[in-house]
């Protein structure tokens, strides 16, 4: 299957996600709601497994990392300090004919290859002079390009100014710098990590769960000494991010690094690199890594009037640490994981669809079947096997349809192992048939050895 612009593959993934309970269009019974999505039972398991993997890898297995869970609603001054109120803008343009709204920079870049981020007048000129066509109606009758602030405004009782849903989790991390320093035994370098929702009033959403208005991020602010050899630390983070991508099932050949040009960087940033994945619509940003200097701590210090410094006992002095920020989109991780796992295999008389998730990410680890639904003893024994395994592994009991159909369903949700209780189990060997998702090989294992078997296979 080719990767580039593989809209057919994307459609197959979207349809599998709905058919099999991974991801549903939001508010569907009301006709949908502006390309928003909700996670179904298997999507929620997959999402939780990815979060768990990330938290284990980046928080629990690192001695100098502190995990937090900050609020979505934060003091409005915070967004002034971070620059979001002033300049968290995207360029939008409206088609006067069909009234659809677009990202002006994306229209220009798609048509001419030029990256004109921030240059509104130039975008307007090119849109008109080059007669760039509206992707919706095909005409060329544009308004001027103008900035739209992407923060979601809301109101809070008792607060007389606009309040915003946080546009990134990072803000909630920076404002806890002082609390972490004061309450934990902290030594530089150290990091503060968070997983949570972020909201951006994107002009255009799309590509399924790639660009959403409500999404989740997994972010780290990693504080370092201003004179530390930051290049080594930065490269170490890039490697860890790529390692995490591989743990999602992504192959090296399907990801690449994209370094932002020096002249495009914010004044405080020394280096920014995106890790891109070859999504069905081509290479696009999956994760990001930025050296942000001391900009954030200094800004929050200035706006809050609180000193946000680190006291170094060895040097006997206080200073403002620099920060390196590894950021991961959770929904994009899920989309990449779904895309990497999606496999079609030609069988003799059929095509088998299999989600080859890494075992630890699979929503269901083991499915347990009685060979026949209407044989009470088989069902009872299968139920017993299920009851013994379910407290340790996420299991599913299934007695619908025939075995072939049950295998197909479990393949489509990516269950690594299916266990069948049959007549030999009851009458001969007290063993079950275990079928491997990827090889479709079957083997016979004694019921009392199941726990050891899965302990080895699913660690
Ligand atoms: N604190 C830095 C920050 O927020 P960003 O590049 O704007 O940086 C970080 O966002 C990550 O969040 C991206 O790499 C992407 O994975 C994810 N992300 C950003 N906007 C998104 C959107 N509209 N929908 C889904 N994921 C998004």
Q: Which residues pair with 338 in a beta bridge?
A: none
Ligand 1 contacts CB of residue 203 (under 6 A): no
Which ligand 1 atom is nearest residue 330's CA?
Answer: 16
Ligand 1 contacts CB of residue 217 (under 6 A): yes
**What is the rounded distance in angstroms from the CA atom of residue 228 to the CA atom of residue 189?**
9
So what's the pLDDT on residue 5?
62
So what's the pLDDT on residue 196?
98
**What is the rounded distance in angstroms from the CA atom of residue 43 to the CA atom of residue 430?**
35
What are the DSSP calls for 389-455, one per residue? HTTTS-EEE--SS-HHHHHHHHHHHT-SEEEEE-HHIIIIISEEEEEETTT--EEEEEGGGHHHHHH
What are the DSSP calls for 136-202, one per residue? TTS---B---EEEE-PEEE--TT--S-EEE-SSSHHHHHTTHHHHHHHS---SSEEEEEEEEEE---
* Contact criterion met (CB below 8 Å) for 151 and 85: yes
Question: Ligand 1 atom 13: the closest Cα is on which residue?
Answer: 329
Ligand 1 contacts CB of residue 170 (under 6 A): yes
Separation of CA 413 and ligand 1 centre (Å): 27
So what's the pLDDT on residue 442?
97
**What is the rounded distance in angstroms from the CA atom of residue 165 to the CA atom of residue 174?**
16
Give the chain's end-to-end CA distance (angstroms, integer).
Answer: 31
Separation of CA 329 and ligand 1 centre (Å): 6
Asked if pLDDT for residue 2 goes beyond 80, the answer is no
The whole-number average pLDDT for the span 383-398 is: 96
Ligand 1 contacts CB of residue 242 (under 6 A): no
The whole-number average pLDDT for the span 312-330 is: 97
Ligand 1 contacts CB of residue 212 (under 6 A): yes
Ligand 1 contacts CB of residue 202 (under 6 A): yes
So what's the pLDDT on residue 3?
52
For residue 189, cis peptide bond before it (omega within 30 degrees of 0)? yes
pLDDT band at residue 459, thresholds of 50, 70 and 90? Answer: confident
Which ligand 1 atom is nearest residue 169's CA?
Answer: 1
Residue located via tokens 């002079």: 129
Output the average pLDDT for the chain: 95
Using one digit for the tens of pLDDT, what is the confidence trace for 66-96? Answer: 999 999 999 999 999 999 999 999 999 999 9
Using one digit for the tens of pLDDT, what is the confidence trace for 409-430? Answer: 999 999 999 999 999 999 999 9
CB atoms within 10 A of CB 452: 11
Ligand 1 contacts CB of residue 94 (under 6 A): no
**What is the rounded distance in angstroms from the CA atom of residue 337 to the CA atom of residue 249?**
6
Question: Ligand 1 atom 9: the closest Cα is on which residue?
Answer: 327
Ligand 1 contacts CB of residue 329 (under 6 A): yes
**What is the rounded distance in angstroms from the CA atom of residue 359 to the CA atom of residue 248?**
10
How much of the chain, in percent, has pLDDT values that exceed 70?
99
H helix and E strand count, the chain: 15, 23
Question: Ligand 1 atom 21: the closest Cα is on which residue?
Answer: 211
**What is the rounded distance in angstroms from the CA atom of residue 210 to the CA atom of residue 278?**
12
Nearest CA to 433 out of 417, 415, 445 is that of: 445
**What is the rounded distance in angstroms from the CA atom of residue 406 to the CA atom of residue 193?**
40
CA distances for 193 relative to 233, 334, 402, angstroms: 17, 19, 47
pLDDT band at residue 266, thresholds of 50, 70 and 90? Answer: confident
So what's the pLDDT on residue 4?
52
The secondary structure of residue 324, as a DSSP letter, is: E
Ligand 1 contacts CB of residue 249 (under 6 A): no
Asked if pLDDT for residue 448 goes beyond 80, the answer is yes
Using one digit for the tens of pLDDT, what is the confidence trace for 127-162? Answer: 999 999 999 999 999 999 999 999 999 999 999 999
So what's the pLDDT on residue 289?
98
The whole-number average pLDDT for the span 335-357 is: 96
CB atoms within 10 A of CB 354: 20
So what's the pLDDT on residue 424?
96
pLDDT band at residue 1, thresholds of 50, 70 and 90? Answer: very low
Q: What is the pTM of this model?
A: 0.95
Asked if pLDDT for residue 117 goes beyond 90, the answer is no
What are the DSSP calls for 25-52, one per residue? ETTGGGT--TT-EEE-HHHHHHHHHHHH
Asked if pLDDT for residue 372 goes beyond 60, the answer is yes
Using one digit for the tens of pLDDT, what is the confidence trace for 5-59? Answer: 688 999 999 999 999 999 999 999 999 888 899 999 999 999 999 999 999 999 9
So what's the pLDDT on residue 349?
86
Using one digit for the tens of pLDDT, what is the confidence trace for 271-320? Answer: 999 999 999 999 999 999 999 999 999 999 999 999 999 999 999 999 99
Which ligand 1 atom is nearest residue 286's CA?
Answer: 16
The alpha carbon of residue 161 and the mean position of all alpha carbons in its chain are separated, in whole angstroms, by: 32
Separation of CA 212 and ligand 1 centre (Å): 10
Ligand 1 contacts CB of residue 327 (under 6 A): yes
Asked if pLDDT for residue 223 goes beyond 80, the answer is yes
So what's the pLDDT on residue 412?
98
* Contact criterion met (CB below 8 Å) for 269 and 290: yes
Ligand 1 contacts CB of residue 297 (under 6 A): no
Separation of CA 368 and ligand 1 centre (Å): 39
So what's the pLDDT on residue 331?
98
Separation of CA 114 and ligand 1 centre (Å): 22
């Amino acid at each position: 299957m080719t990767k580039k612009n593989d809209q057919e593959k994307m459609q197959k993934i979207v349809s599998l996600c709905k058919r099999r309970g991974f991801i549903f269009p939001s508010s569907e019974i009301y006709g949908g709601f502006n390309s928003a999505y909700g996670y179904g039972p298997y999507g929620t398991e997959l999402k939780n497994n990815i979060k768990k993997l990330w938290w284990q890898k980046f928080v629990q297995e690192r001695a100098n990392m502190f995990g937090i869970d900050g609020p979505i609603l934060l003091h409005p001054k915070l967004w002034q300090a971070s620059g979001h109120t002033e300049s968290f803008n995207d360029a939008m343009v409206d088609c006067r004919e069909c009234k659809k709204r677009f990202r002006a920079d994306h229209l220009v870049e798609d048509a001419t290859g030029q990256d004109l981020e921030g240059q509104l007048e130039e975008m307007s000129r090119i849109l008109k002079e080059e007669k760039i066509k509206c992707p919706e109606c095909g005409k060329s009758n544009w308004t001027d390009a103008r900035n739209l602030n992407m923060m979601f405004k809301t109101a809070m009782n008792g607060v007389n100014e606009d309040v915003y849903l946080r546009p990134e989790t990072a803000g909630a991390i920076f404002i806890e710098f002082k609390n972490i320093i004061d309450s934990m035994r902290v030594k530089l370098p150290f990091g503060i990590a968070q997983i949570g929702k972020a909201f951006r009033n994107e002009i255009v959403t799309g590509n399924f769960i790639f660009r959403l208005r409500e999404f989740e991020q997994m972010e780290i602010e990693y504080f370092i000494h201003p004179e530390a050899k930051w290049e080594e630390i930065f490269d170490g983070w890039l490697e860890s991010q790529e390692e995490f991508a591989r743990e999602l099932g992504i192959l090296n050949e399907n990801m690449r690094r994209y370094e932002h040009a020096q002249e495009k960087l914010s004044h405080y940033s020394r280096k920014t690199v995106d890790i891109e994945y070859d999504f069905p619509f081509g290479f696009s940003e999956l994760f990001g890594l930025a050296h942000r200097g001391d900009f954030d701590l200094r800004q929050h210090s200035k706006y809050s009037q609180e000193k946000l410094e680190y006291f170094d006992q060895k040097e006997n002095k206080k200073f403002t640490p620099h920060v390196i920020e590894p950021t991961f989109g959770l929904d994009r991780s899920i989309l990449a994981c779904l895309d990497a796992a999606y496999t079609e295999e030609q069988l003799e008389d059929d095509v088998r669809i299999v989600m080859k998730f890494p075992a630890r990410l699979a929503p269901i680890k083991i499915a347990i079947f009685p060979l026949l639904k209407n044989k009470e003893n088989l069902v009872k024994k299968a139920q017993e096997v299920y009851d013994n395994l379910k407290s340790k592994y996420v299991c599913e009991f299934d007695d619908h349809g025939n075995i072939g159909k049950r295998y197909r369903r479990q393949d489509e949700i990516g269950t690594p192992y299916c266990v069948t209780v049959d007549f030999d189990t009851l009458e001969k060997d007290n063993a079950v048939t275990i079928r491997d998702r990827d090889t479709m090989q079957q083997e016979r294992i004694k019921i009392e050895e199941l726990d050891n078997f899965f302990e080895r296979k699913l660690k």
